[in-house]
A = this chain, B = another copy of it.
Amino acid sequence: MRPREIPDIVIRRLPIYERTLKQMLDAGITSVSSEELGERIGVTAAQIRRDLSYFGKFGKQGKGYDVARLAEAIAHILHLDRQWDVALAGFGHLGQAIAHYRGFEPNSFRIAAIFARNPEHIGQQVNGTVVLSETELTRVIQEMGIKIGIVAVPAAAAQNVADRMIAGGVRAILNYAPVILKVPPSVWVREIDPISALQSLTYYLDNGDQPDGHAAASLNHRLATEATGD
């Protein structure tokens, strides 16, 4: 098995699989077929089997998947069986919303450092994390060994902040700023850009076209409809 050959789109579907499996487990479901799992997620059973086949053999012919074991296996593949410290740059409306968001901790992430430019924000606390001056960004990230950064600063400041995160050792960036970050080959970026998302949705409005029924039936179209890459 050579991880290098696994398409990124497959990797991006795995968190949805894991989340769905955990929800099933909470609901007391211990076994599931690829058909059932696919129906819940909104992809085909064949897609699920193909995606999972990159990582080995799960489930037995005709018996379906053990929900707990598959959830655990996917968490392991994604390195979610540990907690990751995350550095947040930006403490405006968006940064504050991210800092207060309660979804990180139950999902393997912890906002371990927050950086602000506005002197009024520096020294404030969010869930026990003190807001630091953004001038300290590189040094603190380096000292804490943080590998994941969230960029929530205005567009004009985003590239500079990303550069300084990377200088401190960050290798994965979640970018909320509406700019295309230039990063070295060793760094991964995912954009969380509402404007681009909205601007691609309007294509489907008002042009007399209806989305394909099979794809729209559930999940988001991004994950459900695009090519599998294999």
Nearest Cβ on chain B to A117's Cβ, whole angstroms: 16
**What 1/0 mask marks residues of chain A from 114 to 145 whose CB sits below 8 Å from any chain B CB?**
00000000000000000000000000000000
Chain B neighbourhood of A171, CB < 8 A: 204-205
Given A178-B19, A189-B220, A209-B4, answer yes or no on A79-B202 (Cβ-Cβ < 8 Å): yes
A65 interface contact, C-beta 8 A: no
Nearest Cβ on chain B to A185's Cβ, whole angstroms: 4
Nearest Cβ on chain B to A124's Cβ, whole angstroms: 14
Chain B neighbourhood of A182, CB < 8 A: 217-218
Chain B neighbourhood of A30, CB < 8 A: none
- A189–B221 touching, CB < 8 Å: yes
One complex includes copies of this chain to the number of: 2
In the complex, A92 Cα to B70 Cα: how many Å? 34
Q: Which of A44-52, A56-64, A97-105 contacts the other chain?
A: A97-105
- B98–A96 touching, CB < 8 Å: no
- B93–A100 touching, CB < 8 Å: yes
- A78–B203 touching, CB < 8 Å: yes
A residues whose Cβ falls under 8 Å from a Cβ of B: 3-4, 7-9, 11-12, 14-16, 18-20, 40-42, 77-80, 84, 86, 92-94, 96-98, 100-101, 103-104, 107-109, 147-148, 150, 155, 171-172, 174-175, 178, 180-192, 194-207, 209-223, 225-229
New contact pairs (19) apart from A19-B196, A78-B203, A192-B192, CB-CB < 8 Å: A7-B225, A8-B225, A9-B227, A15-B196, A15-B199, A77-B203, A79-B203, A79-B205, A96-B97, A103-B155, A104-B195, A147-B206, A172-B202, A174-B194, A174-B201, A180-B219, A185-B216, A187-B211, A226-B227
